[in-house]
Amino acid sequence: MVELELEDGLAVITIDRPHARNALDLGTMGELEKALDAAGGASALAVTGAGDRAFVSGGDLKELSRLRTEAEVSGMALRMRALCDRISAFPGPVVAALNGHALGGGAEVAVAADIRVAADDIRIGFNQTSLAIVPAWGGAERLARLVGPGRALLLAGTGRVVGAAEAERLGLVDLVLPRAGFGPGWREVARSLATRQAGEIKALTSRVRSPQEAAAAFARLWVAEEHWEAAEKVMSRGR
């Protein structure tokens, strides 16, 4: 099942399939689609898995093994690619909270987010080669943008799985937190990004913007009540 929490501008989507290590089947993809629909008005989005064993362990092989024709498999791949594209295109910041291992398709979901926060004992890898297949949900392209084409080929081409510390060094993970405080830690990060300002920053960093667009974003925030309330607090401390 897929759970959705909405609180103070933050939407949290949790993949909760403990019997399958949070692997995705067609039904779960449908639930994820509905959760993304419902999260549309949030300022920030977080995607995580239930428990501490797996973030998302890719596609559910037992369920997806029913797909035997190229048309069926292509349809599934395009459907999940579209969902990852929606995660990537979410207007506010998106955090992938890697509570457990992110393997195969799970790594593809992780790199669809803007920021990956990982527990220090997780492992992540594009190990589709172990099944004699390739990433099909947009993960190869996103991996290349994160770590560079050479490293992407090395990781996905060999199926190498790395720990959290190495993933951070490679640029595959942005922040590693101790397991003991992981839950509160990633939620604090996600809540801090559930702001209008963070949404504007994502828009500015998503592609090269003109000076006029950057100035317009700055001006929108300058005239907003939130800016003047914060500015008044700063100015009052100097009086």
Domain match, 180 and 227 both: no
Domain match, 8 and 41 both: yes
Cα–Cα distances (Å) from 60 to 97, 150, 228, in that order, read 20, 29, 50
Does the structure show a pLDDT above 60 at 184?
yes
The residue range of the domain holding 212 is 208-237
Domain match, 110 and 163 both: yes
Residue 203 domain-assigned (yes or no):
no
What's the confidence (pLDDT) of residue 99? 98
Domain match, 50 and 116 both: yes
Question: Are the C-beta atoms of 123 and 142 separated by less than 8 Å?
Answer: no
Residue type, 205: T
Q: List, edge to edge, every strand of the sheet that includes 54-56.
A: 54-56, 101-103, 123-125, 161-163
Query: 63-78, pLDDT tens digit by residue?
Result: 888 888 999 989 999 9
Cα–Cα distances (Å) from 24 to 15, 117, 167, in that order, read 8, 21, 23
Residue 12 domain-assigned (yes or no):
yes
Q: Residue 16 contacts by C-beta under 8 Å, 6 or more apart in sequence? A: 1, 2, 3, 22, 49, 50
Token match 């937190």: residue? 177
DSSP 8-state symbol, 59: B
Q: Tokens at residue 119, please? A: 């527990």
Residue 200 domain-assigned (yes or no):
no
Alpha carbon 74 to its chain centroid, in Å, reads: 23
Query: Looking at residues 216-227, what average pLDDT do you find?
Result: 76
Q: Tokens at residue 4, please? A: 């959705």
Residue 198 domain-assigned (yes or no):
no
If one counts the domains in the chain, the total is: 2
Query: 76-124, pLDDT tens digit by residue?
Result: 999 999 999 999 999 999 999 999 999 999 999 999 999 999 999 999 9
Residue 8's closest CA among 188, 205, 182?
188
